[in-house]
Structure formats: C-alpha cells, structure tokens
C-alpha cells in the first residue's frame, strides 16, 4: 500500500531511511533543520517541506529520527496538532520514559504511536538492512511492520510502548562493553608481541567472537570495512555510544540494577567523547586504552 509519509530528521540515518521509503513507493515529505540534509534527501526523491509541520501535514505515517529525547518531545508537541489520526513512529534512540511520554502525547491527540529504534548503523540504513526494535500495541505493530520492512531486514515486536527503547539500550550496553573488551584484548596482545591478524584469526573463530570484533574491528587490517581502516570515520559515533550508555546507566540506577561494567563503559565513552573523540567511530576507544598503557 502506498502511504503518505512525513519524515523529520534527515541526518546520517534518517536521510537514507527516507530514501528507502521512497524506493518502496511511498510519498515521502521530509524536513531537517540543516539545509544540506534536506538537499541530500531531495536528491533521493524525498519531497521537501520548509517546516516539520509541513512535512507531517496530511501524513498517514510520521517518522522522527532525531538526536535525543528532548528533540523528539519538542517535535511531537508541535506535530501532534498538525495532522489527524496518523501513526507516529519514532526511530531515534531515547530514554524509555521519553518514549512513553511521546506516545502519550500522540495518543492523547488522537494518533497511534510506536517506538522503533534501530540497530545497523549508517551502512544498514543505506542498505535497508536495519533491525527495528518496536514498542507498540499489537494492532499498531501490525500496521507499522510492513512500513519498517522497507528499511530493514528484521522487525521485532518487543512489547508495549517503550519496550523498543529498552531493547535498544540493552543491546548497546552489550556492544559498548564488548568493544572495550575487544580493544583491551588487542592492546594486551600488542604488549605480548601478538599480531593483530593472529589475534583476530583466533578470536573471530573462537569463543571471543562478537560483532565488535568481526564487523567493527577496532584495529586496521583484519576487517577491511571497519572504521579503523579510515581513521575511525564514523560509523557509529562515540558521542552516540556515550549517549546510549548514559541512558542504560540511568535506567540501571533507576531500577537498582548493579550494571558495573556498563556504568564504567559509560564513563569511558563520555570521557573519550569530551576529549575530542565525539565524532569518531566508537571503536576508536581503543586508542585511549592504548594511551593508558604505562
Ligand atoms: P544525525 O545527527 O546525523 O541526524 C539527526 C538529524 O536531526 C540532524 O540532521 C539534525 O539537523 C536533525 N534535527 C535535530 N533537531 C531537529 C528538529 N527539531 N527538526 C528537524 N530536524 C532536526 O544523527 P543520526 O546518526 O542520524 O542519529 C539519529 C538517531 O538515531 C539518534 O537518536 C541516534 O542515537 C540513533 N542511531 C544512530 C545510529 C548511527 O549509526 N548513526 C545507529 C542507531 C541509532
């Protein structure tokens, strides 16, 4: 079914996602604060609007792909008043509580709402290969699943509102910690005279195997497509990993879960981001682990 889609937030992720919705035959009108992002999306066949309200007007489905919960709530407060009976889909990574507030805002104004954060990064967004983690009522999930399928390979219904965000921060808790573990292993291996390739060849086929090693290897060489081979150009920016681990640490504190490694990882990424690494791929954390070597 061809839908009229409003898409707010055409950045690294939102731009290619909107392009894939166009590719699936939907009529997509997009908006971003940054004119270059709008122009890029226009090049992919996204119609452009001068305001977020203009993008959402008359839309069947309103997507948001924004930096944080604050941005999402600001945009929702405006957009719930400009369209009627739409399905609001927030794909940004935000706190579980913010996702529930956003859904309440939309529902109170007569809309349906789901949270649908993603995993797969910029490459996955471009290749329509994202994983979507969805928090939604059953009927809303049934409505959104075929739309998300145009942008992803896997769409998982995680539970009610906020459950998609819960899955996202738990997944990134694993990822953030495992990248530090892989980085520590390479730095220790260097000190022990082990080549990167030898450690990779062993760990990638042994019990140390994980995505941080085999897809986003933090040292150049073993995985040619990993950001380490292009001076850690993101990829998934360290600032975003710091944000996600901050959300996970806050949630752990709120629920009295002693996630000690997660909290420490949140500190390390926050320091790395504040020290100039914010825009680098999060795998560049290996450089600080190496510098910390006595
Ligand atoms: P980005 O900074 O490239 O894009 C966000 C866009 O939102 C920017 O272009 C910005 O101008 C726009 N924006 C901000 N406020 C706005 C407003 N009020 N109205 C319209 N546009 C506005 O970020 P991104 O990498 O695309 O990430 C977006 C979200 O996806 C984040 O929540 C991030 O945590 C999540 N995410 C990112 C990745 C990744 O690999 N980049 C992976 C998974 C999830």
Model pLDDT, residue 123: 86
239 pLDDT more than 80? yes
Model pLDDT, residue 84: 87
Model pLDDT, residue 31: 98
292 pLDDT more than 90? no
Catalytic residue (choose from 168, 173, 237, 245): 168
Angle of CA points 119, 44, 89, to nearest 5°: 40
161 pLDDT more than 90? yes
Q: Out of 168-172, 203-207, 288-292, which region has the weakest mean confidence (pLDDT)? A: 288-292
Distance 194 CA to ligand 1 centre (A): 39
User: In terms of DSSP H, where are the helices of the chain?
Assistant: 14-23, 35-43, 52-56, 69-79, 96-108, 121-126, 138-149, 163-191, 196-203, 211-214, 238-254, 260-272, 285-291
Q: Which of 6, 12, 92, 179 to mutate to test the pocket of ligand 1 (most atoms within 8 A of CB)?
A: 12
Model pLDDT, residue 293: 80
139 pLDDT more than 80? yes
Distance 53 CA to ligand 1 centre (A): 18
122 pLDDT more than 90? no
The verdict on the CB of residue 67 being under 6 Å from ligand 1 is yes
Q: Which of 20, 38, 63, 67 to mutate to test the pocket of ligand 1 (most atoms within 8 A of CB)?
A: 67
Q: How many angstroms separate the CA atoms of 285 and 176, rounded?
A: 10
What pLDDT band is residue 15 in, cutting at 50, 70 and 90? Answer: very high
The residue nearest atom 40 of ligand 1, judged by CA position, is 121
Phi, psi of 157 (to 5 degrees): -85, 110
What mean pLDDT is reported for the chain? 96
Q: What's the pLDDT tens digit per position in 96-116? A: 999 999 999 999 999 999 999
1 pLDDT more than 90? no
The verdict on the CB of residue 13 being under 6 Å from ligand 1 is yes
Model pLDDT, residue 9: 98
The verdict on the CB of residue 246 being under 6 Å from ligand 1 is no
CA trace torsion 243, 247, 250, 252 (10° rounding): -130
Q: What are the CA-CA distances from residue 20 to residues 3, 16, 112, 113, 275 (Å)?
A: 13, 6, 23, 21, 35
Model pLDDT, residue 121: 85
Counted residue by residue, the chain has a size of 294
The verdict on the CB of residue 31 being under 6 Å from ligand 1 is yes
Q: How many angstroms separate the CA atoms of 265 and 241, rounded?
A: 10
How far is residue 137 CA from its own chain's centroid? 22
Distance 190 CA to ligand 1 centre (A): 36
CA atoms within 13 A on the CB side of 120: 24
Distance 13 CA to ligand 1 centre (A): 7
Model pLDDT, residue 132: 98
The verdict on the CB of residue 140 being under 6 Å from ligand 1 is no
21 pLDDT more than 80? yes
Q: Any catalytic annotation for residue 168?
A: yes
Model pLDDT, residue 255: 95
For every residue of 66-132, DSSP letters joined together read: -SSHHHHHHHHHHHTTTSSS-EEEE-S---HHHHHHHHHHHHHTT-EEEE--EESHHHHHHTT-EEE
294 pLDDT more than 80? no
Please report, rounded to a whole number, the percentage of residues in the chain having pLDDT higher than 90: 95
Q: What's the pLDDT tens digit per position in 171-206? A: 999 999 999 999 999 999 999 999 999 999 999 999
Q: What are the CA-CA distances from residue 246 to residues 47, 94, 96, 240, 251 (Å)?
A: 35, 10, 12, 10, 8
Model pLDDT, residue 48: 97
Q: Which of 6, 7, 10, 11 to mutate to test the pocket of ligand 1 (most atoms within 8 A of CB)?
A: 11
Can you tell me the mean pLDDT for 111-140? 96
């Amino acid at each position: 079914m061809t839908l009229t889609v409003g898409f707010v937030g055409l950045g690294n992720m939102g731009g290619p996602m909107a392009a894939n919705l166009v590719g699936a035959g939907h009529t997509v009108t997009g908006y971003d604060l940054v004119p270059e992002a709008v122009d890029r999306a226009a090049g992919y066949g996204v119609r452009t609007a001068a305001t977020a309200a203009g993008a959402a007007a008359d839309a069947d489905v309103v997507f948001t792909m924004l930096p944080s919960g604050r941005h999402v709530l600001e945009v929702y407060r405006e957009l719930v008043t400009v369209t009627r009976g739409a399905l609001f889909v927030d794909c940004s990574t935000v706190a579980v509580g913010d996702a529930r507030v956003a859904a309440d805002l939309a529902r109170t104004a007569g809309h349906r709402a789901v949270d649908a954060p993603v995993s797969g990064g910029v490459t996955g967004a471009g290749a329509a290969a994202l994983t979507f983690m969805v928090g939604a009522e059953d009927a809303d999930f049934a409505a959104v699943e075929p739309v998300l399928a145009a942008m992803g390979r896997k769409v998982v219904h995680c539970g009610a509102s906020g459950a998609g965000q819960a899955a996202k921060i738990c997944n990134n808790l694993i990822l953030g910690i495992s990248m530090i573990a892989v980085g520590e292993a390479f730095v220790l291996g260097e000190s022990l005279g082990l080549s990167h390739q030898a450690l990779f060849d062993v760990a990638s086929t042994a019990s140390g195997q994980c995505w941080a090693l085999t897809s986003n290897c933090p040292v150049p060489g073993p995985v040619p497509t990993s950001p380490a081979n292009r001076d850690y150009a993101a990829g998934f920016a360290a600032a975003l990993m710091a944000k996600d681990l901050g959300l996970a640490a806050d949630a752990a504190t709120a629920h009295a879960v002693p996630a000690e490694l997660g909290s420490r990882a949140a500190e390390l990424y926050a320091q790395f981001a504040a020290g100039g690494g914010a825009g680098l791929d999060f795998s560049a954390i290996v450089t600080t682990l190496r510098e910390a070597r006595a």
